[in-house]
Amino acid sequence: MPEIGARFVVHSVLFVAAVGYFANTIYGRLRVLQSVAWTDLFDKIPERINKLVVYGFGQKKFVVDRQDPAPSWMHFFIFWGFVILGLRVVTAFGQGWFGLEFHLPLMGADMLGGPYLLLKDLIEVVVICSVAFALVRWLFIHPKRLYGFEPAEARLAGQSHGEAILILCFIGGIMLTDLFFEAGRFIYAAGDPAVEAERSWVPVASMLSTLIQPIGAENARIVSEIGWWGHNIIIMIFVNLLPLSKHFHIITGLPNVFFSKLEPLGALSKQELETAETFGTSRIDQFTWKQVLDMYTCTECGRCSSNCPATATGKPLAPRQMLLNLRDYLYEHQDEVIEKHAAAANGANGEAAEAPEVGVNVVGADSVVPDDVIWSCNMCRACEDACPVNIEYVDKIADMRRHLVQEEARFPTELTRVFKGLETQSNPWGIGAEKRDDWAADLDIPRIADKPDAEYLYYVGCAGAFDDRNKKTTVSFAKILMKAGVDFAILGKEELCNGDSARRLGNEYLYQTMAQMLIETFDAAGIKNKKVIVNCPHCFNTIKNELPQFGGEYECVHAAELVKELLDEKKIGLKPNGDGYEVVTYHDSCYYGRFNNVYDAPREVIQAATGKEPQEMERHGRTGMCCGAGGGRMWIEEDADKRVNLLRVDQALETGPEKIAMSCPYCMTMINDGIKAKDLEEKVEAVDVMEIIERQLT
Query: With 90 as the cut, is the pLDDT of residue 206 above it?
Result: yes
Check if the beta carbon of residue 201 is closer than 8 Å to that of residue 109.
yes
Model pLDDT, residue 500: 97
The mean-pLDDT minimum among 223-232, 273-282, 532-541 falls in 273-282
Q: If you average pLDDT over residues 179-204, what whole number do you get?
A: 95
Query: With 50 as the cut, is the pLDDT of residue 7 above it?
Result: yes
Strand, coil or helix: 33: helix
Model pLDDT, residue 365: 87
pLDDT above 90 coverage of the chain, percent: 93
Query: With 70 as the cut, is the pLDDT of residue 351 above it?
Result: no
Check if the beta carbon of residue 550 is closer than 8 Å to that of residue 273.
no
Burial class (CB in 10 A: 0-12, 13-18, 19+), 621: middle
| H or E, element range at 598 | none
| 236 vs 233: CA distance, rounded Å | 5
Q: If you average pLDDT over residues 380-385, what whole number do you get?
A: 96
Query: With 50 as the cut, is the pLDDT of residue 2 above it?
Result: no
Query: Could you tell me whether strands 584-586 and 555-558 are parallel, antiparallel, or unpaired per DSSP bridges?
Result: unpaired
Query: With 90 as the cut, is the pLDDT of residue 22 above it?
Result: yes
Model pLDDT, residue 511: 98
**DSSP class per residue in 48-98:** HHHHIIIIIIS-HHHHT-SSSHHHHHHHHHHHHHHHHHHHHHHHHHHHHHH
The mean-pLDDT minimum among 337-351, 421-435, 436-450 falls in 337-351
Query: With 50 as the cut, is the pLDDT of residue 368 above it?
Result: yes
Query: With 60 as the cut, is the pLDDT of residue 503 above it?
Result: yes
Nearest to 559 by CA among 487, 464, 663: 663
Strand, coil or helix: 270: coil
The mean-pLDDT minimum among 150-154, 222-226, 275-279, 694-698 falls in 275-279
| 478 vs 24: CA distance, rounded Å | 65
Q: How many CA atoms lie within 13 A of 592 on its CB side?
A: 29
The number of beta carbons lying within 10 Å of the beta carbon of residue 445 is: 20
Return all residues near 595 (Cβ < 8 A) that are at least 6 apart.
264, 265, 266, 381, 537, 541, 545
Burial class (CB in 10 A: 0-12, 13-18, 19+), 122: middle
| 647 vs 659: CA distance, rounded Å | 17
Query: With 90 as the cut, is the pLDDT of residue 6 above it?
Result: no
Q: If you average pLDDT over residues 564-583, what whole number do you get?
A: 89
Query: With 60 as the cut, is the pLDDT of residue 352 above it?
Result: no
Query: With 60 as the cut, is the pLDDT of residue 349 above it?
Result: no
The number of beta carbons lying within 10 Å of the beta carbon of residue 669 is: 20
Query: With 50 as the cut, is the pLDDT of residue 33 above it?
Result: yes
Q: If you average pLDDT over residues 517-535, what whole number do you get?
A: 95
| Per-residue model confidence as pLDDT tens digits over 449-468 | 999 999 999 999 999 999 99
Residue of higher predicted confidence among 4 and 303: 303
| Per-residue model confidence as pLDDT tens digits over 476-497 | 999 999 999 999 999 999 999 9
Q: If you average pLDDT over residues 262-285, what whole number do you get?
A: 93
Model pLDDT, residue 429: 96
Q: If you average pLDDT over residues 239-248, what whole number do you get?
A: 94
Q: How confident is the model at residue 696 (pLDDT cuts 50, 70, 90)?
A: very high
| Per-residue model confidence as pLDDT tens digits over 615-646 | 999 999 999 999 999 999 999 999 989 999 99
| Per-residue model confidence as pLDDT tens digits over 126-152 | 999 999 999 999 999 999 999 999 999
Q: How confident is the model at residue 581 (pLDDT cuts 50, 70, 90)?
A: confident
Q: How confident is the model at residue 1 (pLDDT cuts 50, 70, 90)?
A: very low
